[in-house]
Amino acid sequence: MVEIKTDKALEAMREAGRVVAHALAAARAAAAVGVRLRELDEAARTVLTEAGASSPFLGYQPSFAPVPFPAVICASVNDAVSHGIPGDYRLRDGDLVSVDCGAELDGWTGDAAISFTVGTPRPADLELIAATQEALDAGIAAATVGHRIGDISHAISTVARKAACGMPSDFGGHGIGRQMHEDPHVPNHGCPGRGFPLRHGLALAIEPMLMAGGHNDYRTDPDGWTLRTTDGSQAAHIEHTIAITVAGPRILTLP
């Protein structure tokens, strides 16, 4: 069932989204050559704790996962597309890192992701991150009253195709609100004019995941969580929680 939020609920989600933005900023600030991924998780965890927020990631176990997720962020490096578990891996010069984080505050949830490089960036990685950001921007721009979910999906996939990038076909965005994952599903591939109609008060997490190799196939690590490109190519993941409003799309996960 799709829940349409009141304006008061959207304001509460905005506060949860602000916490997410600060947690992501803390994780990025902690990222440097030689730093363990778990240290990025610790930085984000501190922000959540100080804000009085909890993590919708920690302990989350969907049907595909063999164990509950053990951290408050997903930290995915280089060919990892998403859902990377932040452990003892030490960041290296030139690594491409995607960090996904959520926060629950006063009964409402925010969810966002960023991608960035550590140390000396590879030009191709910067281009991939820029294309992923462009895909997200296009998806958000299409998220207007009177459009449909397929318009968001088509806008994202158009950018991905232009950049000759693939996207994992089984994963995409989602409704969000009282829970991290709600209806409707927001695919990163789709046809304009199709799918659930966009109405004032609908909250969505839009999250393109682009794979530089151009394929849509992916594999899952033995940990049951981490998704990787099948050809070893780089991946990037950028996400915002937004609200559909009569005044246009409103990003809820900004600082």
Q: What is the pLDDT of residue 160?
A: 98
Neighbours of 18 (CB within 10 A): 19
The average confidence (pLDDT) of the chain is: 98
Whether residue 248 is predicted with pLDDT greater than 90 in this model: the reply is yes
Whether residue 169 is predicted with pLDDT greater than 90 in this model: the reply is no
Whether residue 201 is predicted with pLDDT greater than 90 in this model: the reply is yes
Binned at pLDDT 50, 70 and 90, residue 86 comes out as very high
Q: What is the pLDDT of residue 106?
A: 98
Nearest to 44 by CA among 99, 110, 5: 99
Tell me the three state secondary structure of residue 229. strand
Kindly report whether the global pTM for this prediction surpasses the value 0.85: yes
Q: Which residues contact 3 (CB under 8 A, 6 or more apart)?
A: 175, 177, 178, 182
Whether residue 159 is predicted with pLDDT greater than 90 in this model: the reply is yes
Q: What's the pLDDT tens digit per position in 26-52? A: 999 999 999 999 999 999 999 999 999
Rg (C-alpha) for the chain, rounded Å, is 17
Residue 184: asked if its preceding bond is cis (omega within 30°), the reply is yes
Q: What is the pLDDT of residue 44?
A: 99
> What's the average model confidence in pLDDT over 199-217?
98
Whether residue 200 is predicted with pLDDT greater than 90 in this model: the reply is yes
